[in-house]
Each structure stands twice: as structure tokens, then as C-alpha cells.
Amino acid sequence: GVTNENSHPHCDPTCKISIVHNGIIENYFEIKQRLMDAGNKFTSETDSEVIAHLISENFDGDLLATVRRVLPMLRGTYGLIVMHSDFPDLIIGARNGSPLVLGIGNEEMFLASDVIAFGPYVQKIVYLNDGEIIKIDQNDFSVTNVQRATIKKETQDLESDVADISKNGFEHFMLKEIYEQPESIKRGLAGRINFAEYTGKLGGLNMRDAELDAIKSVVIVASGTSYYAGSVGARMISDMARIPTSTEMASELIAKNIIVSPDTLYFVVSQSGETADTLFAMRELKRKGARVLGICNAVGSTIARESDGGVYIHSGPEIAVASTKAFTSQITAFAILALIMGRGRGMSIADGDRLIKYLAAIPNAVEHILTLDKLICNIAKKYSSCKNFLFMGRGICHPVAMEGALKLKEISYIHAEAVAAGELKHGVIALVNPDTPSLFLVPDDELRGKNISSMKEVHARGGKIIVVTDIDDPEINAIADDVIIVPKTDRELTPFTFVVPMQLFAYHMANILGREIDQPRNLAKSVTVE
Ligand code: AGP
């Protein structure tokens, strides 16, 4: 439960030892049972509290040595900080599976799970790796491991944009981040187009052209919004480079015995670079011999460091729990990848040229969509009493519909279900009624006719229809209750222009309903537990 008793720090029975723990202790129950049998009293329902009790039970006057002895008794994951009130100038930290980073400021040091927490107080950082223990005293810090070996750590500069975190006049970080997209997409494209050869360039892949050309299939692994961005990326790579590409949810990949093939290139996608499911899936793939590249936003994050190379999406710090600009930056990276892989195979100069021109025009297209904000807000007002929504898209717009539904769910708490529009008639149509609006994504492509047929099925059953489209089409206008027209782009790039109206729709819906937009209930920005 979300209670004061369950909040950190947790203490030992003497209240001298305090701990803060991020992660899950899998064997807490047996430890707690034994300690309770020995007379210990617990004040919280957490697994974390057993750590303080265990340290207390084993304490011999040397906090570092005690923590080092206790860690092997814990099964699970931790980013852990320990203090003892008899040693006020000493902090011990330890990491296993959950992030921990040291921030060094002006005569002060901090430990956190994410550099974003440091704000303007820190200039240098040191990332800890799994199995490492840090001791901080008044003057310095030192890092060792459980076997007592000293580990020399590199100090890095903290990126300046991490220190500069403000809402910049916007009511919420989410809205600010939606509005940052023209710039963040531009940053993701900067220096990554090779105009002379009608292709892209991504320095961090650590792969020679010949190695890229030898790839026979691609698998993209991620969670949540990053998974939907990966699903868009999979379509881009399959369509443009003609390489069979599939996606795996990270949590599902860990749940099965995945077959790794040497000709397959694996990508893990993560805004934070710390999502436990994605990180563990990456480690499992690497253990099986796969080459795994990362597509990350957070520079220096665990996934970025442990992957075999990859791409930084440069969208800047994303603070709102609901991911927006990271999604468009992730698909920017995938568009460039698909261009590189496509040009290495059968993609013509003309197709490469067309794609580059449309890609370069995306920031302006998004800028235009932001001018539709008022219209989208009014549409949200009209539907704000609805309790259920259907989101429908086909082809590359199907994962975009899923992302739109996720946005609405996580910040407005309205139930939304995304459906591949062609699947509607196979069951979901039973849900259509006048109180359940359907939001259709209808680009002007070869699937338009089929999408209009699905709209007609909903219309005939009294369902209200909101359409995002890139064409002023009398047939669409006749059936739809509300239409949002976005600028036209290349068929493969429609996810950029179709996702932004849905981000704004979810934002306004949540705002109208008075929700905690930047920190929705039950959610965390980085999900560092499995
Ligand atoms: C996005 O709006 C969500 N908060 C969530 O689905 C998120 O995308 C997911 O947890 C993955 O995070 P990551 O990109 O940092 O790995």
C-alpha cells in the first residue's frame, strides 16, 4: 500500500540503521519469518525493511564490512543506500540490478537512481555497476566489490541539459515535452543524414557496412511506449530495407526460452535505459551470444553502457511519466536505421532522396499540428464524460493507435482499447455503442478504403467517430463526428504526424478531468523492478 509506514527510509529495531532501497528482495519472506521468530518487530509491509534488520543483526562496528557480508544473503535486485546514526559522515551504497549513480557537487555528494534527480547541484557523476559497493565519507568516495577488490571508477561530466529542468512556462512537463518535439526530432536527425549518398549515418552502431549487410533478420525488444516505437520501427525496417523484423515485449522475452540466431541483429529500446524488464532481456540475449544494440535517451544509462553499441536519440530529459517526445525521437532513430539498411540493399536513390526530404520536413509538420491544439482540446471536452474509447489503426498506424490508447489510459485513467482496424469485425465490434467513441487513424494510403469500411461499421451501430487523417475527404467527413487533419508525409512516416494529436488529446482529457498529469497514480517514470 501507499502509506507512510511503507515509505523509505526503513530502519532496524534500534532505529540506528536506515536504508533506502529500490528493487525487490525475492527471499524477504523467509528472512522476515526467521527474524520475527527471533523476536524482531516490523513496522512496514515492505520487502526492503528486512535489509535494515539483517544489517543490524550482523553489525560489528564496521558498516561497510557489515553491508558487504549481508549483500550475499539477499536474493533479488537492489539500488541500496545505508546509513548508521553513530557514523553521520558515512554513507554506503550498493547496486545489483537497480540503478545507482553518484553525483559530485561543490563539497557535497549525492546518491540517486537517476541523474535527473541531481538537478543543478552536481557537475560530475560516477555510474555504479552491478556488484559494486560505494563508501562515501566527508572527504571522498571509494568503490569496492563484495570480494573487497578496489574498483577504479571513471568520473564523467553531467550533461548540461539534465541540470536545466523547468516547465518553461507550461502548466505541465508533459505539455512542454509535447511542444518540444519539433526541436527534439531535429536534434535526432542532426548530422545523421548523408545527403551525398541518399542514406543515413549512425556512428554508434559499431558495425561495418558489410556486417550490417549480412544481417538476415532484426528483433526489437522494449516495454510500453518504447515497445510501440519499436513496433513502428519494425514496420519501417521490414518495408524499407526488406529485412524480416519482429518485436518482442521485454517482459515476455524473459518469460520464454528465446532462440538466438547469429544472423539476427537485436535492438533494445528504452528512454530511461534503466527499465528492468528491458535490461534483463538484453542481458539474456547477450548471454546467448546475440549482438544487441541500444536505442536510448539517457546518456550513460545501464542499457546504453552494457549494449554492444547503439544510438542516442537526444530528445533531452523527459520528466513526465507519460512518454511523448521520446517516442517521436525513437522512431526518428528507426527511420534513419531503415534508411541505412534499405540503401545497403535494394532501396533506390529516388526512394532514399524522397525519404530524406520527408524526414527533414517532419519538424515543421509537427509544428503545424501543435497549432491544432485548441481544436483538439475542444474535441476532448466534447468526449470527456465517456468511460471507454476504442483506438483503431491499420498497418504502421496500428502500433500508433496502441500508443494513443496507452497515453489516454495512463494519464486520464479512462479505459481505452487499441484494435487493428481489420480485427474490429472479429469481436471488438460488440463493444461499439453511442457511449464508446472510436478514434480512427486514416492516412491517405492504400489502406484508406478499408479504414473507411471499418468506420462505416462503427457508424452504422451508433458509435461516435473521431478521425485523424491527412486528407480532406468528403467520404470521411460524412461519417466522422470530428476530424483532425494533419500534414501529409511519406507513408512510412505517418506515425510522426498521427501520434501528436493523440498525445494532445490524452493530455487535454486528463487536464479536463483534473488528473495528476505528470505523475499519474500507480506509475513511475523508470520501472526498475521486474
Ligand atoms: C510511457 O508513457 C510509459 N510511462 C511506459 O510505458 C514506458 O514507456 C515504459 O515503462 C518503458 O520505459 P523506457 O522507455 O524508459 O524503457
pLDDT, tens digit, for every residue of 400-448? 999 999 999 999 999 999 999 999 999 999 999 999 999 999 999 999 9
The pLDDT value given to residue 420 = 96
The pLDDT value given to residue 528 = 85
pLDDT cut 90: percent of the chain above it: 92
| pLDDT, average across residues 345-358 | 96
The pLDDT value given to residue 107 = 92
Cα–Cα distance, 66 to 62 (Å, whole number): 6
CB-CB neighbours of 6 under 10 Å: 14
Ligand 1 atom nearest the C-alpha of 527 is: 10
The pLDDT value given to residue 49 = 98
The pLDDT value given to residue 132 = 97
User: Is pLDDT of 450 > 90?
Assistant: yes
CA distances from 372 to 274, 425, 474 (A): 34, 32, 20
Cα–Cα distance, 249 to 224 (Å, whole number): 8
The pLDDT value given to residue 166 = 85
Cα–Cα distance, 375 to 430 (Å, whole number): 30
Cα pseudo-dihedral 15, 12, 139, 159, rounded to 10: -110
> 410 CA to middle of ligand 1, Å?
11
> 380 CA to middle of ligand 1, Å?
24
> 230 CA to middle of ligand 1, Å?
12
| pLDDT, average across residues 215-224 | 97
Name 362's Cβ contacts closer than 8 Å, sequence gap at least 6: 185, 332, 489, 493, 496, 497
Cα–Cα distance, 336 to 293 (Å, whole number): 15
| pLDDT, average across residues 283-299 | 96
Burial of 132: CB neighbours in 10 Å, binned 0-12, 13-18, 19+: buried
Name 169's Cβ contacts closer than 8 Å, sequence gap at least 6: none
Cα–Cα distance, 519 to 517 (Å, whole number): 6
Substitution candidate for ligand 1 out of 523, 527, 528, 529 with most atoms within 8 A of CB: 527
Substitution candidate for ligand 1 out of 177, 225, 249, 299 with most atoms within 8 A of CB: 225
Task: Output 42 or 526, whichever has higher pLDDT.
Answer: 42
Q: Which residues line ligand 1 (CB under 6 A)?
A: 223-226, 270-272, 275, 278, 321-323, 410, 526-527
Substitution candidate for ligand 1 out of 114, 178, 221, 223 with most atoms within 8 A of CB: 223
The pLDDT value given to residue 526 = 86
The SS3 call for residue 381 is: helix
The pLDDT value given to residue 98 = 92
Tell me the backbone φ, ψ of residue 390, rounded to 5 degrees: -110, 140
The pLDDT value given to residue 234 = 98
| pLDDT, average across residues 225-250 | 98
Ligand 1 atom nearest the C-alpha of 275 is: 16
Are 103 and 93 in contact, with CB atoms under 8 Å apart?
A: no
pLDDT band of residue 1 (cuts 50, 70, 90) is: confident
> 526 CA to middle of ligand 1, Å?
7
> 224 CA to middle of ligand 1, Å?
5
CA distances from 110 to 90, 114, 115 (A): 12, 11, 10
Tell me the backbone φ, ψ of residue 346, rounded to 5 degrees: -95, 0
Beta-bridge partners for 465: 438
Q: Which residue, by CA, sits nearest to atom 9 of ligand 1?
A: 224
Cα pseudo-dihedral 494, 499, 502, 507, rounded to 10: -160
Task: Output 358 or 529, whichever has higher pLDDT.
Answer: 358
> 118 CA to middle of ligand 1, Å?
21
- Write out the E strands in 97-171: 101-104, 109-112, 124-127, 132-136, 141-145, 156-157
> 97 CA to middle of ligand 1, Å?
18
Substitution candidate for ligand 1 out of 113, 173, 272 with most atoms within 8 A of CB: 272
What is the grid cell recorded at 524?
Answer: 513511475
Mean pLDDT across the chain, nearest whole number?
Answer: 95
User: Is pLDDT of 165 > 90?
Assistant: no
User: Is pLDDT of 158 > 80?
Assistant: yes
The pLDDT value given to residue 515 = 97
Cα pseudo-dihedral 449, 455, 457, 462, rounded to 10: -160
| pLDDT, average across residues 151-179 | 90
> 321 CA to middle of ligand 1, Å?
8
User: Is pLDDT of 160 > 80?
Assistant: no
The pLDDT value given to residue 146 = 85
The pLDDT value given to residue 424 = 93
| pLDDT, average across residues 31-55 | 97
DSSP state of 427: T
The pLDDT value given to residue 412 = 98
The pLDDT value given to residue 460 = 95
Q: Read off the pLDDT of residues 109-157 as tens digits, 9 standing for 90 and up.
A: 999 998 989 988 999 999 999 999 999 998 899 999 988 999 999 999 9
The pLDDT value given to residue 371 = 98
Q: Which residue, by CA, sits nearest to atom 4 of ligand 1?
A: 322
| pLDDT, average across residues 156-161 | 84
